[in-house]
Amino acid sequence: MSAISFPLRSLLFAALLLGAVAPSVAEDNPYLDAMQAIADGRYEDARRSLASLAAQEPEHAGAWLDLAILQCGLGHREEAEALFTAIELRFAPPPAIREMIAQQRATGCRPNAGKGSYRLRAGRGYDSNANQGASNPNLNIGSGSNTLTLVLAPEYAPRGDSFTSIQAEGAMPLGNNGSLGFAHFLHRRYDNLSRYDLSSAIVGLERPWQLGSWSLRATASAGLLGLGGKLYQQHLQAQLQVTPPLPLPAPWQLSLIGATSLQAYPAQSQFDAVQNEFRLQLTHRGQEHLLQAAAGLLADDSSKARPGGDRQGWTASLFGRLHLGQGWSAEGAWNVLDWRGARPFSPGLIDFRREQQTRQLRLGLHYALGHGQAIIAEYRQIDNDENISIMGYRGRQLSLNWQWQP
């Protein structure tokens, strides 16, 4: 989640315009580190890097200008004005840079680092399987002539229903060094199947920092999940993302992500568990697109009372976002989650280990209306296959949403 409020585009544009007078920048130059710090919201780190670079390389016009704009954005008016004046006297900047300096002065250098971002979405949709009813209601127990077939009650068959949903989320910078507080809320209300109404709330903190040439980002969050108006699940999560300085062609980036989450079920404590995840994530970020692929391993340590005991598994995902022009953009995501139980699910009744594979697909088409508003059509598909027949299910959702993001 990001809430960058400094004029990053101005800084990059200035760097390009000053290319003729600024010295060449090597891959390990502090100037690139400062630009990355600005992109991460680590403004104090960027300020220190740019100030050091300007002192070490007095003819580095890009460092001087970016430092001046950064000081102005931080509300340090006197420091910014001294730098703007020095730039005009020392570097004889071209008209485009002079106009940019004038624009910065016109703002009065009022601090804007505290501005957050938020988004509101409301929509209507249809869910083909609101209750996650079983695709196969028959469960065979035993073998040969002793096979017994149990049949689920009709109420556990798939049931579709229309729904209304509302989502709200926001992020707020905490200081000037990239820390963020964030929150997300979701409520989905079905027209008829109210016992499956879904509510969730998540709050958390995020903190990026730099360790030499390694980039790190730590996230901690807590959440509640409600089902049918009752508390269903509580969870806590801690995550660390590490991006090493690998010699990948720009703009590719490879990160390592480790996460631990505690999950508690107030009404069914036998399902309480600790989940650990380790995955690799490859990202390609351009001006008009974002592509991301990830794969990793999972471990789910449960209480001794949970059927099937601990689980081991793996996960893989693909995500893409593409601007199509004329206000249109498209987004898609595919995820697969595979679990294997450690012991027989229910000895004497189901004498084998549970095997589960869940595949999810999401496709979205966005159209911008202007003034921060957009219309979003979204399709979601979930296929949960299990070797315990009555636990497998299929679901399809189609929704139309209005979004406001100032």
User: 185-204 pLDDT, tens per residue?
Assistant: 999 999 999 999 999 999 99
| Structure tokens given for 161 | 């229903």
pTM score, two decimals? 0.78
Bridge-based pairing state of the strands 350-370 and 328-346? antiparallel
pLDDT at 5: 43
Residues 193 and 263 in one domain: yes
Is residue 300 located within the same domain as residue 338?
yes
Same domain, 138 and 96: no
Q: Which DSSP symbol is given to 372? A: T
Range of the domain at 40: 8-106
Give 336-342's long-range contacts (Cβ < 8 A, gap of 24+): 336/360, 337/298, 337/313, 338/313, 338/314, 339/298, 339/300, 339/311, 339/312, 339/313, 340/311, 340/312, 340/313, 341/308, 341/309, 341/310, 341/311, 342/308, 342/309, 342/310, 342/311, 342/312
- What stretches of 144-286 show up as alpha helix (H) in DSSP? none
Q: Does residue 322 sit in the same domain as residue 231?
A: yes
Amino acid 133: pLDDT: 95
Average pLDDT score over residue span 198-226? 94
Geometric angle at alpha carbon 119, from 116 and 121, rounded to 5°: 170
Phi, psi of 138 (to 5 degrees): -100, 135
Claim to verify: residue 38 and residue 163 sit in the same structural domain: no
Summarize the confidence of residues 335-340 as an average pLDDT.
97
Q: Are 111 and 119 in contact (CB under 8 A)?
A: no
- 152 and 84, same structural domain? no
Domain end (from 86, 106, 126) = 106
**Mean of the pLDDT values across residues 359-379?**
96
Distances (CA, A) of 377 to 164, 190, 230, 368: 14, 19, 30, 12
- pLDDT of residue 402 exceeding 70: yes
Q: Is residue 3 part of a domain?
A: no
Q: Could you tell me if 293 and 161 lie in one domain?
A: yes
In this structure, what token pair is assigned to residue 337? Answer: 């989650």
Give 373-401 pLDDT, tens digit per residue: 999 999 999 999 999 989 999 999 999 99
Report whether pLDDT(2) > 60.
no
Same domain, yes or no, for 74 and 55? yes
In a domain, 112, yes or no: no
d(CA 210, CA 34): 11
pLDDT at position 144 is: 65
Q: For 103-107, 143-147, 287-291, 319-323, which range has the lowest pLDDT when averaged over its residues?
A: 143-147
Domain boundary among 75, 106, 137: 106
